[in-house]
Homo-oligomer: A and B are copies of this chain.
Amino acid sequence: MKGAARARRRERLPRDERMAEIMVAARQVFCSKGYEAASTAEIAVAAGVVEGTLYRYFPTKRDLLIKVVEEFYEAILSDYEAQLKGVRGTWNRLRFMIWKHLSVMHADPDMCRLIVHELRPWPEYRRSRIFRLNQRYTQSTLAVIREGIAGGEFREDVPLRIVRDMIFGAAEHHTWAHLRKEGEFSPDAAADAITNLIYQGLERRGHPARSSGVELNRLERAVQRLEGLATPRRRKRRSA
């Protein structure tokens, strides 16, 4: 009894390392085939272990996906709040958040598809860490709107929940085709359009002086011209 059958490596790793290896393999397979089409057998092979081993670390295939997504999500959000602190002004802050959100979806459509189309509809979603992380995330959007209200830029009767739903709903619908690899979109252009629509939608109307006019028009055009010039590629921060 030997030959090919006996060729298995059988090297043993500490719990954390093996777990990490499985998660890397699982992410790979989930991303390339989607949740349903990814079989535990395939993930096991990719991880260099046998199927039963997966179940020593993750109670179910679903839990495995959840863990993989949690890891991804935490990495995304880790520096998010810090970055937001560096942006001033309601419009800019709003725009940054929307842009950031769209950019993640643009950069990692596979993982985002897993979150949005596979994991989120599950019943256990609301009990998962991802749900809570996401709440914190959308909360900061509302905080920006509240600042806008407090500062007098926005109306006082803004329906906060609806605004949040609009921003994230718009982002989701807009990126939908891209997540399925059936289309493209520009995070920059979309962020501008969404931000402007929301901003104008919330703006306090007929204040002291009436809005707009020649001056505004001129600036709006300048913005548009510059927006076109600013290549999406370049994101370097200008040193003070």
- When the two chains form the complex, which single residue of B165, B199, B225 contacts A170, counting CB atoms closer than 8 Å? B165
A229 touches B230 (CB 8 A): yes
* A15, CB-defined interface residue at 8 Å: no
Question: A174 with B162: in contact, given A226-B230, A229-B226 (CB under 8 Å)?
Answer: yes
* A108, CB-defined interface residue at 8 Å: no
A199-240: which have CB < 8 Å to B?
199-216, 218-223, 225-231, 234, 238
* A89, CB-defined interface residue at 8 Å: yes
Question: Which residue of B is nearest A89, CB measured?
Answer: B221
Distance to closest chain B CB from A169 (angstroms): 3
* A126, CB-defined interface residue at 8 Å: yes
A170 touches B166 (CB 8 A): yes
Q: How many copies does the complex hold?
A: 2
Give the residues in chain B near A228, CB-CB below 8 Å: 238
B214 touches A212 (CB 8 A): no
- When the two chains form the complex, which single residue of B198, B202, B211, B231 contacts A209, counting CB atoms closer than 8 Å? B211
Number of interface residues of A (CB under 8 A): 67
Question: Which residue of B is nearest A176, CB measured?
Answer: B165
Give the residues in chain B near A199, CB-CB below 8 Å: 218
B204 touches A201 (CB 8 A): no
A219 touches B221 (CB 8 A): no
* A172, CB-defined interface residue at 8 Å: yes
* A53, CB-defined interface residue at 8 Å: no
The CA of A152 and the CA of B214, in the complex, are separated in Å by 9
* A3, CB-defined interface residue at 8 Å: no
- When the two chains form the complex, which single residue of B123, B126, B205, B222 contacts A200, counting CB atoms closer than 8 Å? B205
Interface centre among A194, A202, A205 (most CB of B within 10 A): A205
Give the residues in chain B near A226, CB-CB below 8 Å: 223, 226-227, 229-230
Distance to closest chain B CB from A217 (angstroms): 8
Give the residues in chain B near A174, CB-CB below 8 Å: 161-162, 165, 169
- When the two chains form the complex, which single residue of B91, B162, B194 contacts A218, counting CB atoms closer than 8 Å? B91
Question: Which residue of B is nearest A88, CB measured?
Answer: B221
Question: A190 with B219: in contact, given A168-B173, A172-B169 (CB under 8 Å)?
Answer: no
Known pairs A204-B214, A207-B212 / 6 extra A-B pairs, C-beta < 8 Å: A159-B197, A162-B197, A168-B169, A168-B173, A170-B170, A206-B210
